[in-house]
Amino acid sequence: MIDSITFLAKVIGSRWLDILDKSGEKILLKMARNLLNRADISEIRHNPFLESIPNAVKKDRCGVCHSTGLVKYLECRSLDSGYAPLYMCKSCLCLYNATAEFNEMDVVEWQKRWAEDPEFYKVPTGDEFVALVDRAAPTFEWLENDLGVRFSGSYMEIGAGSGIMAASALRFFSDVYVLDHVHDRLLKVREIVGERYHVIDYDDGLNIKVDTVLIWHAMEHFLNPGGVFAFGAGQLKKKGYFLMQVPVLTEEHVYPGHYYFYNELVFKRLAEQNGLSILNFYYDHAMNAMTAVLRKN
Ligand SMILES: [Zn+2]
């Protein structure tokens, strides 16, 4: 029921916004936006980024496919020096690391501490900034060549971190939208690269449609990655590209803040649930990472 109300509000509200946008009615446009935001109160309840308590085992609910049926898979060494209990979802076959849940770690506080470290995701300036942006560009070039496409239009990055990869995306896309729970670093990047770089939050994201969505080493950190995936897929235009890179399950990637591990079957399941098709999977054996490229149907 909530989903259908939200859907209707979004359809009617978005249509109205389109019409007003074209007619140039600024005041009415502002009113329409406010109304749409209020109509989206039910959506806020579903904001997948707001989930902060790891409880997948306790609730028996997989954060990826939202099914029940998590079973103990194995224990392995964790970078926090203890052992990590890993569970498998019988439905989508993702792996869930229950360390934070079982140790009742205050994940929000923990992530905040990491994020406040000035060395973590530092935004450099001058030549150092340009060099970092240069280093990120070949990922897009490589994907363009392998997929035989030229990226264009708009780009949204979820969990943009330092915002450097998105800065490099400006060389391929006309507008770049970045989301992250920490805005400071992204605003610093915007100061350097200019106004085609938009720092947005979840609510802003609901009002835009983009040609490409990228989630690079962030899906493992979400407690509701299925919800985040659905959000990304929902804001993609038809035939738009969804690019994702995640660490695969290897010892150096197991630590309490990495909740979910993925494989090809998990992405196939997510693709089916959200109206996308798999284009390709790539493996980086040096970094033990996998890249999934999907396309909206
Ligand atoms: Zn699952």
What is the 84 CA–ligand 1 centroid distance (Å)? 19
pLDDT in the model for residue 146: 97
Would the pLDDT of 131 be above 80? yes
Would the pLDDT of 11 be above 90? no
Q: Are 121 and 189 in contact (CB under 8 A)?
A: no
In 10 A of CB 36, how many CB atoms? 20
In 10 A of CB 154, how many CB atoms? 21
pLDDT in the model for residue 30: 60
Tokens of 183: 């805005």
What is the 138 CA–ligand 1 centroid distance (Å)? 33
Mean pLDDT for the stretch of residues 226-255:
96
Percent of the chain at pLDDT exceeding 90: 70
Tokens of 3: 């989903």
Q: Which of 17-26, 160-169, 248-257, 278-287 has the lowest mean pLDDT?
A: 17-26
Mean pLDDT for the stretch of residues 41-65:
84
β-pair type (95-97, 83-89):
antiparallel
pLDDT confidence bin for 46, thresholds 50/70/90: confident
What is the 202 CA–ligand 1 centroid distance (Å)? 24
What is the 66 CA–ligand 1 centroid distance (Å)? 6
Q: Which residues contact 283 (CB under 8 A, 6 or more apart)?
A: 248, 289, 290, 291
What is the 90 CA–ligand 1 centroid distance (Å)? 7
Q: Which residues contact 1 (CB under 8 A, 6 or more apart)?
A: none
* Residue whose token pair is 């992530």: 111
What is the 71 CA–ligand 1 centroid distance (Å)? 11
Mean pLDDT for the stretch of residues 150-157:
98
pLDDT in the model for residue 7: 46
Tokens of 39: 């109509």
Would the pLDDT of 121 be above 50? yes
What is the 247 CA–ligand 1 centroid distance (Å)? 17
User: Which residues on neighbouring strands pair with residue 280, listed in sequence order?
Assistant: 293
What is the 191 CA–ligand 1 centroid distance (Å)? 40
What is the 8 CA–ligand 1 centroid distance (Å)? 28
* Residue whose token pair is 């905040």: 112
Mean model confidence pLDDT for the chain: 87
What is the 118 CA–ligand 1 centroid distance (Å)? 36
Tokens of 23: 């007619």
What is the 24 CA–ligand 1 centroid distance (Å)? 45
Percent of the chain at pLDDT exceeding 70: 83
Mean pLDDT for the stretch of residues 185-195:
96
Q: Are 102 and 109 in contact (CB under 8 A)?
A: no
Between 251 and 278, name the one with better pLDDT.
278
Q: Are 39 and 244 in contact (CB under 8 A)?
A: no
Would the pLDDT of 41 be above 80? no
What is the 67 CA–ligand 1 centroid distance (Å)? 6
pLDDT tens per residue, range 139-153: 999 999 999 999 999
pLDDT tens per residue, range 251-274: 889 988 899 999 999 999 999 999
pLDDT in the model for residue 24: 57
Would the pLDDT of 109 be above 90? no
pLDDT in the model for residue 264: 97
